Amino acid sequence: MAVPEPTVRETVIRGSNGKTRLCFFGVMAALLIVSAVFSENLCPYDPYLQDLDAALQQPSAAHIFGTDRYGRDMLSRVIVGSRTSIFSTFLLVAIITTFGTAIGVFCGWARGRADNLLMRVSDLCLAFPGLVFALAVAGVLGGGLSNAVIALAMISWPKYARIARSQTLSVRETSYLKAARLAGCSTSRLILKHILPNIAGPILVTATLDVGTMMMELAGLSFLGLGAKPPTAEWGSMMSETRGLLQTVPWAVFAPGIAIFIAVMVFNLLGDAVRDWMDPKMRVKS
């Protein structure tokens, strides 16, 4: 049975709802980013100050998320840990988006042997389970947050390369690009002025949706001891430090876990809103 096409009224309602969702989750994401920037000013206590007399205190008015085994305020550590977790994720997404897009555009434009070689390399990266491959690379590099970012970047760029390549192949056959080539535009101008603006939409949506995924994978590597190292406040590392206290002091594990859940949910919903907003079917011509 054929699915009926949506009416103009339904499309307008969907479009308005999409803009509302985009604005709402955009504001939520902006609040997370601003709080991460000013995290040190928002902390009620020094996140690295140890006070063994106040160790393992339950959540209270003085310590909303309680304290850890060293007497450090968990709320302060969660707040200051947002800077490490969020900005390291942004750096990772920026690296894989830029590198993968550059490879994809080059392959789609040049084609030939270089295209075949780079696509086979991307197939090799995609042949392994992503997190398992990242664990192996991070283990070889020796751990640390910077090495965790490098490890995840090495296995995450092929997705962007394939998207950029397929979009470039379709754009290069369009009539306006052929006209630009006949007009004498250089290769760099064709790529910068004509190809990149026309393939940016799918790449932007993929990058936005990837923020939550990369945040979870970075936290996973830190949890396994291959990411941020103590005493650095990072959500995955904080959960790893306190995992042995789950049955006796659960608030020490739940505090960074809740922070990861909220951040990942906000960025995932923002990615969904961006995807819906950029969908041509959700728009109405004025």
Both tokens assigned to 130: 């992503």
CA 104/CA 171 separation, integer angstroms: 13
Rounded to an integer, the average pLDDT of 224-230 is: 84
Q: Distance between the two ends of the chain, CA-based, in angstroms?
A: 31
Task: Say which residue, 9 or 185, is predicted with more confidence.
Answer: 185
Tell me which residue of 213, 190, 205 sits closest to 278, measured CA to CA: 205
Query: 8-22 pLDDT, tens per residue?
Result: 444 544 555 778 888
Query: 257-270 pLDDT, tens per residue?
Result: 999 999 999 999 99
Kindly report the pTM of this predicted structure. 0.86
Domains and CATH numbers, the chain: 9-39+63-282 (1.10.3720.10)
Residue 61 DSSP symbol: S
CA 68/CA 172 separation, integer angstroms: 57
Q: Is the peptide bond before 231 cis (omega within 30 degrees of 0)?
A: yes
CA 118/CA 238 separation, integer angstroms: 38
What phi and psi values does residue 24 have, to the nearest 5 degrees? -65, -50
